[in-house]
Structure 1
Amino acid sequence: MAERAQYEELIRQFSAFGAVKRELGRVLPAECPGGSVAALTLLGRHGDMRMSRLSELLAVDMSVTSRHAAHLAERGWIDRSPDPADKRSRILHLTAAGQVQLEALFERTAQLLADRLGDWSDEEVAQLSRLMARLRASFDDCRVLPPRLPPPHALEPTTRTPAST
Protein backbone atom coordinates (compact mmCIF):
# COMPACT_ATOMS: atom_id res chain seq x y z
CA MET A 1 0.00 0.00 0.00
CA ALA A 2 1.23 3.48 -0.84
CA GLU A 3 2.38 5.83 1.87
CA ARG A 4 0.45 8.88 2.98
CA ALA A 5 2.84 11.26 1.17
CA GLN A 6 2.10 9.47 -2.10
CA TYR A 7 -1.65 9.90 -1.60
CA GLU A 8 -1.14 13.58 -0.76
CA GLU A 9 0.82 14.05 -3.99
CA LEU A 10 -1.94 12.25 -5.87
CA ILE A 11 -4.48 14.69 -4.41
CA ARG A 12 -2.35 17.60 -5.70
CA GLN A 13 -2.23 16.00 -9.15
CA PHE A 14 -6.02 15.56 -9.16
CA SER A 15 -6.31 19.28 -8.47
CA ALA A 16 -4.04 20.03 -11.39
CA PHE A 17 -6.12 17.76 -13.61
CA GLY A 18 -8.88 20.37 -13.39
CA ALA A 19 -6.81 22.50 -15.79
CA VAL A 20 -6.75 19.62 -18.28
CA LYS A 21 -10.53 19.23 -18.05
CA ARG A 22 -11.05 22.96 -18.51
CA GLU A 23 -8.93 23.00 -21.65
CA LEU A 24 -10.76 19.97 -23.03
CA GLY A 25 -14.01 21.82 -22.33
CA ARG A 26 -12.81 24.83 -24.32
CA VAL A 27 -12.75 22.83 -27.57
CA LEU A 28 -16.44 21.92 -27.21
CA PRO A 29 -18.89 23.90 -29.30
CA ALA A 30 -21.13 26.28 -27.37
CA GLU A 31 -24.24 24.26 -28.21
CA CYS A 32 -22.75 21.15 -26.62
CA PRO A 33 -21.79 21.68 -22.97
CA GLY A 34 -19.92 19.07 -20.94
CA GLY A 35 -23.02 17.38 -19.53
CA SER A 36 -24.38 16.85 -23.02
CA VAL A 37 -21.05 15.44 -24.17
CA ALA A 38 -21.06 13.00 -21.26
CA ALA A 39 -24.61 11.87 -22.06
CA LEU A 40 -23.85 11.48 -25.78
CA THR A 41 -20.66 9.57 -25.00
CA LEU A 42 -22.49 7.15 -22.70
CA LEU A 43 -25.24 6.56 -25.25
CA GLY A 44 -22.60 6.00 -27.92
CA ARG A 45 -20.73 3.52 -25.74
CA HIS A 46 -23.64 1.64 -24.15
CA GLY A 47 -26.42 2.02 -26.71
CA ASP A 48 -30.09 2.66 -26.02
CA MET A 49 -31.02 2.98 -22.36
CA ARG A 50 -33.61 4.23 -19.95
CA MET A 51 -33.26 7.72 -18.58
CA SER A 52 -32.78 6.22 -15.10
CA ARG A 53 -29.78 4.19 -16.31
CA LEU A 54 -28.21 7.26 -17.90
CA SER A 55 -28.72 9.09 -14.63
CA GLU A 56 -26.88 6.30 -12.79
CA LEU A 57 -24.01 6.32 -15.26
CA LEU A 58 -23.70 10.09 -15.08
CA ALA A 59 -23.98 9.89 -11.27
CA VAL A 60 -26.42 12.80 -11.22
CA ASP A 61 -30.02 13.38 -10.16
CA MET A 62 -32.79 12.45 -12.59
CA SER A 63 -33.72 16.12 -12.96
CA VAL A 64 -30.22 16.88 -14.26
CA THR A 65 -30.36 13.94 -16.65
CA SER A 66 -33.77 15.10 -17.85
CA ARG A 67 -32.34 18.54 -18.69
CA HIS A 68 -29.44 16.95 -20.60
CA ALA A 69 -31.85 14.70 -22.50
CA ALA A 70 -34.10 17.64 -23.37
CA HIS A 71 -31.09 19.63 -24.61
CA LEU A 72 -29.93 16.72 -26.78
CA ALA A 73 -33.44 16.00 -28.11
CA GLU A 74 -33.98 19.68 -29.06
CA ARG A 75 -30.91 19.45 -31.29
CA GLY A 76 -32.00 16.15 -32.81
CA TRP A 77 -29.07 14.22 -31.36
CA ILE A 78 -31.24 11.74 -29.45
CA ASP A 79 -34.75 10.35 -29.60
CA ARG A 80 -36.82 9.72 -26.48
CA SER A 81 -39.39 6.99 -26.95
CA PRO A 82 -41.73 5.27 -24.49
CA ASP A 83 -40.32 2.13 -22.92
CA PRO A 84 -42.49 -0.79 -24.11
CA ALA A 85 -42.03 -2.49 -20.73
CA ASP A 86 -43.03 0.62 -18.74
CA LYS A 87 -44.83 3.42 -20.57
CA ARG A 88 -43.87 5.88 -17.78
CA SER A 89 -40.19 5.48 -18.68
CA ARG A 90 -38.36 6.74 -21.72
CA ILE A 91 -35.74 4.96 -23.80
CA LEU A 92 -32.99 7.24 -25.09
CA HIS A 93 -31.54 6.50 -28.50
CA LEU A 94 -28.63 8.20 -30.26
CA THR A 95 -29.76 9.47 -33.69
CA ALA A 96 -27.65 9.60 -36.85
CA ALA A 97 -27.18 13.34 -36.23
CA GLY A 98 -26.12 12.54 -32.67
CA GLN A 99 -23.57 10.03 -33.93
CA VAL A 100 -22.16 12.66 -36.31
CA GLN A 101 -21.97 15.17 -33.42
CA LEU A 102 -20.29 12.59 -31.18
CA GLU A 103 -17.68 11.79 -33.83
CA ALA A 104 -16.98 15.51 -34.32
CA LEU A 105 -16.54 15.92 -30.55
CA PHE A 106 -14.17 12.95 -30.40
CA GLU A 107 -12.18 14.41 -33.28
CA ARG A 108 -11.81 17.78 -31.51
CA THR A 109 -10.75 16.29 -28.19
CA ALA A 110 -8.49 13.66 -29.80
CA GLN A 111 -6.72 16.41 -31.75
CA LEU A 112 -6.17 18.45 -28.60
CA LEU A 113 -4.76 15.41 -26.80
CA ALA A 114 -2.55 14.59 -29.79
CA ASP A 115 -1.23 18.17 -29.75
CA ARG A 116 -0.56 18.20 -26.01
CA LEU A 117 0.80 14.65 -25.73
CA GLY A 118 2.74 14.67 -28.97
CA ASP A 119 6.04 14.17 -27.16
CA TRP A 120 4.72 11.14 -25.22
CA SER A 121 5.50 7.65 -26.45
CA ASP A 122 2.67 5.35 -27.51
CA GLU A 123 3.41 3.22 -24.43
CA GLU A 124 3.16 6.23 -22.11
CA VAL A 125 -0.24 7.18 -23.56
CA ALA A 126 -1.40 3.54 -23.28
CA GLN A 127 -0.12 3.35 -19.69
CA LEU A 128 -1.97 6.54 -18.73
CA SER A 129 -5.14 5.19 -20.29
CA ARG A 130 -4.82 1.87 -18.43
CA LEU A 131 -4.14 3.58 -15.11
CA MET A 132 -7.04 6.01 -15.53
CA ALA A 133 -9.39 3.11 -16.37
CA ARG A 134 -8.17 1.28 -13.28
CA LEU A 135 -8.64 4.40 -11.13
CA ARG A 136 -12.16 4.85 -12.47
CA ALA A 137 -12.95 1.20 -11.74
CA SER A 138 -11.78 1.71 -8.16
CA PHE A 139 -14.46 4.39 -7.79
CA ASP A 140 -17.02 2.61 -9.95
CA ASP A 141 -20.01 2.67 -7.62
CA CYS A 142 -20.15 6.38 -6.86
CA ARG A 143 -23.37 5.92 -4.87
CA VAL A 144 -21.46 4.26 -2.05
CA LEU A 145 -20.47 6.86 0.50
CA PRO A 146 -16.79 7.06 1.42
CA PRO A 147 -15.79 6.27 4.98
CA ARG A 148 -16.34 9.23 7.27
CA LEU A 149 -13.16 10.99 8.22
CA PRO A 150 -12.63 12.07 11.80
CA PRO A 151 -12.96 15.81 12.43
CA PRO A 152 -9.71 17.72 11.70
CA HIS A 153 -9.00 18.32 15.39
CA ALA A 154 -9.02 14.54 15.96
CA LEU A 155 -6.11 14.21 13.54
CA GLU A 156 -3.94 16.72 15.39
CA PRO A 157 -1.23 15.21 17.57
CA THR A 158 -1.85 15.39 21.27
CA THR A 159 0.55 15.65 24.18
CA ARG A 160 -1.90 14.12 26.62
CA THR A 161 -1.26 10.67 27.93
CA PRO A 162 -4.19 8.33 27.33
CA ALA A 163 -5.94 7.19 30.47
CA SER A 164 -5.37 3.60 31.42
CA THR A 165 -8.01 1.42 32.99
Structure 2
Amino acid sequence: MDQLIELLFKQGLRPLSVFPDATALEEQMSRSELSALMVLQFHGEMAMSELAGELGAPLSTATSIAKRLQKKGWIARKPSDTDQRSILVALTDEGKQLADKGKATLSDMFDRIQDALTPEEIAQFVQLMIKVGKALQQPPTGRPAGAEQKPRSIQIED
Protein backbone atom coordinates (compact mmCIF):
# COMPACT_ATOMS: atom_id res chain seq x y z
CA MET A 1 0.00 0.00 0.00
CA ASP A 2 2.94 2.38 0.62
CA GLN A 3 3.79 2.20 -3.08
CA LEU A 4 0.21 3.03 -3.99
CA ILE A 5 0.15 6.03 -1.65
CA GLU A 6 3.44 7.28 -3.07
CA LEU A 7 2.16 6.77 -6.62
CA LEU A 8 -0.94 8.84 -5.89
CA PHE A 9 1.08 11.75 -4.53
CA LYS A 10 3.70 11.52 -7.30
CA GLN A 11 0.94 11.91 -9.85
CA GLY A 12 -0.37 15.03 -8.18
CA LEU A 13 -3.51 13.24 -7.08
CA ARG A 14 -4.94 14.26 -3.73
CA PRO A 15 -6.67 11.19 -2.30
CA LEU A 16 -7.28 12.89 1.03
CA SER A 17 -9.50 15.50 -0.63
CA VAL A 18 -12.28 12.92 -1.04
CA PHE A 19 -11.92 11.49 2.45
CA PRO A 20 -13.94 13.27 5.16
CA ASP A 21 -11.61 12.15 7.97
CA ALA A 22 -8.84 14.32 6.48
CA THR A 23 -10.60 17.55 7.48
CA ALA A 24 -8.52 17.98 10.65
CA LEU A 25 -5.28 17.76 8.68
CA GLU A 26 -6.54 20.16 6.02
CA GLU A 27 -7.33 22.70 8.73
CA GLN A 28 -3.66 22.68 9.75
CA MET A 29 -2.07 22.84 6.31
CA SER A 30 -2.67 22.99 2.59
CA ARG A 31 -2.77 19.85 0.48
CA SER A 32 0.53 20.84 -1.13
CA GLU A 33 2.14 21.12 2.30
CA LEU A 34 0.79 17.72 3.33
CA SER A 35 2.05 16.21 0.07
CA ALA A 36 5.52 17.63 0.74
CA LEU A 37 5.53 16.25 4.29
CA MET A 38 4.49 12.80 3.09
CA VAL A 39 7.05 12.77 0.27
CA LEU A 40 9.75 13.64 2.81
CA GLN A 41 8.47 10.88 5.08
CA PHE A 42 8.82 8.33 2.27
CA HIS A 43 12.21 9.51 1.03
CA GLY A 44 13.87 11.09 4.06
CA GLU A 45 16.23 14.04 3.64
CA MET A 46 16.38 15.24 0.06
CA ALA A 47 17.53 18.14 -2.07
CA MET A 48 14.99 20.82 -2.94
CA SER A 49 15.29 19.91 -6.62
CA GLU A 50 14.42 16.29 -5.79
CA LEU A 51 11.45 17.39 -3.69
CA ALA A 52 10.22 19.56 -6.55
CA GLY A 53 10.51 16.58 -8.91
CA GLU A 54 8.59 14.30 -6.54
CA LEU A 55 5.86 16.91 -6.12
CA GLY A 56 5.69 17.52 -9.88
CA ALA A 57 6.12 21.23 -9.22
CA PRO A 58 8.60 23.87 -10.36
CA LEU A 59 11.53 24.46 -8.00
CA SER A 60 10.19 27.93 -7.15
CA THR A 61 6.87 26.44 -6.00
CA ALA A 62 8.56 23.71 -3.96
CA THR A 63 10.83 26.34 -2.39
CA SER A 64 7.80 28.41 -1.40
CA ILE A 65 6.14 25.36 0.16
CA ALA A 66 9.36 24.45 1.99
CA LYS A 67 9.73 27.97 3.39
CA ARG A 68 6.17 27.84 4.76
CA LEU A 69 6.80 24.43 6.29
CA GLN A 70 10.06 25.62 7.84
CA LYS A 71 8.31 28.68 9.28
CA LYS A 72 5.75 26.34 10.90
CA GLY A 73 8.57 24.22 12.32
CA TRP A 74 7.67 21.10 10.33
CA ILE A 75 10.82 20.82 8.20
CA ALA A 76 14.43 21.88 8.52
CA ARG A 77 16.39 23.35 5.60
CA LYS A 78 20.18 23.37 5.42
CA PRO A 79 22.92 23.70 2.81
CA SER A 80 24.32 20.45 1.48
CA ASP A 81 27.72 19.42 2.85
CA THR A 82 28.88 18.47 -0.64
CA ASP A 83 27.37 21.33 -2.67
CA GLN A 84 26.73 24.65 -0.93
CA ARG A 85 24.38 25.68 -3.77
CA SER A 86 22.05 22.81 -2.94
CA ILE A 87 19.53 23.05 -0.09
CA LEU A 88 18.51 19.88 1.75
CA VAL A 89 15.17 19.49 3.52
CA ALA A 90 14.10 16.99 6.16
CA LEU A 91 11.18 16.54 8.53
CA THR A 92 11.41 17.79 12.10
CA ASP A 93 9.88 15.70 14.89
CA GLU A 94 6.65 17.72 14.64
CA GLY A 95 6.66 17.30 10.85
CA LYS A 96 7.10 13.53 11.27
CA GLN A 97 4.07 13.43 13.58
CA LEU A 98 1.92 15.27 11.02
CA ALA A 99 3.14 13.06 8.17
CA ASP A 100 2.33 10.02 10.32
CA LYS A 101 -1.21 11.36 10.79
CA GLY A 102 -1.54 11.76 7.02
CA LYS A 103 -0.25 8.26 6.42
CA ALA A 104 -2.60 6.85 9.08
CA THR A 105 -5.55 8.61 7.44
CA LEU A 106 -4.59 7.17 4.05
CA SER A 107 -4.08 3.72 5.57
CA ASP A 108 -7.56 3.92 7.08
CA MET A 109 -8.93 4.90 3.68
CA PHE A 110 -7.21 1.93 2.03
CA ASP A 111 -8.40 -0.38 4.83
CA ARG A 112 -11.94 0.67 3.97
CA ILE A 113 -11.28 -0.08 0.32
CA GLN A 114 -9.85 -3.50 1.22
CA ASP A 115 -12.92 -4.26 3.33
CA ALA A 116 -15.18 -3.40 0.39
CA LEU A 117 -13.30 -5.41 -2.26
CA THR A 118 -12.47 -9.05 -2.78
CA PRO A 119 -8.79 -10.03 -3.05
CA GLU A 120 -9.21 -10.29 -6.83
CA GLU A 121 -10.75 -6.82 -7.01
CA ILE A 122 -7.92 -5.40 -4.87
CA ALA A 123 -5.37 -6.87 -7.28
CA GLN A 124 -7.28 -5.31 -10.20
CA PHE A 125 -7.53 -1.98 -8.35
CA VAL A 126 -3.77 -1.86 -7.72
CA GLN A 127 -3.01 -2.84 -11.34
CA LEU A 128 -5.37 -0.15 -12.62
CA MET A 129 -3.88 2.49 -10.32
CA ILE A 130 -0.39 1.65 -11.59
CA LYS A 131 -1.63 1.74 -15.19
CA VAL A 132 -3.29 5.13 -14.61
CA GLY A 133 -0.14 6.44 -12.92
CA LYS A 134 2.01 5.37 -15.86
CA ALA A 135 -0.47 6.88 -18.33
CA LEU A 136 -0.34 10.20 -16.50
CA GLN A 137 3.46 10.20 -16.75
CA GLN A 138 3.33 9.91 -20.54
CA PRO A 139 3.11 12.95 -22.83
CA PRO A 140 -0.26 13.70 -24.42
CA THR A 141 -1.08 11.40 -27.32
CA GLY A 142 0.36 12.43 -30.66
CA ARG A 143 3.20 14.57 -29.30
CA PRO A 144 6.51 13.43 -27.88
CA ALA A 145 7.53 14.91 -24.52
CA GLY A 146 8.86 18.44 -24.87
CA ALA A 147 7.79 18.75 -28.50
CA GLU A 148 6.42 22.13 -29.43
CA GLN A 149 3.60 22.53 -31.87
CA LYS A 150 4.56 24.17 -35.14
CA PRO A 151 2.66 27.33 -35.96
CA ARG A 152 0.02 26.85 -38.63
CA SER A 153 0.17 28.81 -41.83
CA ILE A 154 -3.01 30.66 -42.54
CA GLN A 155 -3.52 32.07 -46.00
CA ILE A 156 -5.00 35.54 -46.06
CA GLU A 157 -6.77 36.61 -49.19
CA ASP A 158 -6.37 40.17 -50.49
Scaled by the length of structure 2, the TM-score of the pair is: 0.66
Spell out the pairing of 1:87-102 with structure 2 (5 A cutoff): 87-102=84-99
Which one of the candidate residues 50, 54, 58 is aligned to 1:57?
54
1:111 counterpart residue number: 108
Alignment of 1:1-165 (within 5 A): 22-24=17-19, 27-28=22-23, 29=25, 30-115=27-112, 118-140=115-137, 144-145=145-146
In the alignment, is the contact (CA less than 8 A) between 1:79 and 1:92 conserved in 2? Answer: yes
Largest Rg, 1 or 2 = 1
Contact 1:80 1:91 in 2 (8 A): yes
In structure 2, distance between residues paired with 1:46 and 1:19: 18
- Give how far 1:52 is off: 1.0
Q: Distance in 2 between matches of 1:26 and 1:53?
A: 30
- Distance in 2 (CA, whole Å) between partners of 1:76 and 1:141 is 36
Query: CA 1:91–1:65 in 2, change beyond 3 Å: closer, same or farther?
Result: same
Deviation of 1:91 (Å) = 0.3
Contact 2:14–2:31, Cα closer than 8 Å, also in 1: no
SS of 1:137's equivalent? helix
Identity %: 23
Distance 2:80 2:87 in 1: 5
Higher relative contact order (CA 8 A, sep 6+): 2
Segments of 5+ residues of structure 2 without an aligned counterpart are: 1-12, 140-144, 153-158
Structure 2 distance, partners of 1:35, 1:25, is 17
Q: 1:107 to 1:131 in 2, by over 3 A?
A: same
Instruction: Check the 8 A contact 1:69/1:78 in 2, yes or no.
Output: yes
Over aligned residues, Cα RMSD in angstroms?
3.1
CA distance in 2, matches of 1:139, 1:122: 26
* Unaligned 5+ runs, structure 1: 1-17, 152-165
C-alpha distance in 2 between matches for 1:54 and 1:76: 18
Instruction: Output the amino acid matched with 2:22.
Output: V
Task: Give the Å deviation of 1:42.
Answer: 1.5
Segment of structure 1 superposing worse, 120-129 or 109-118: 109-118
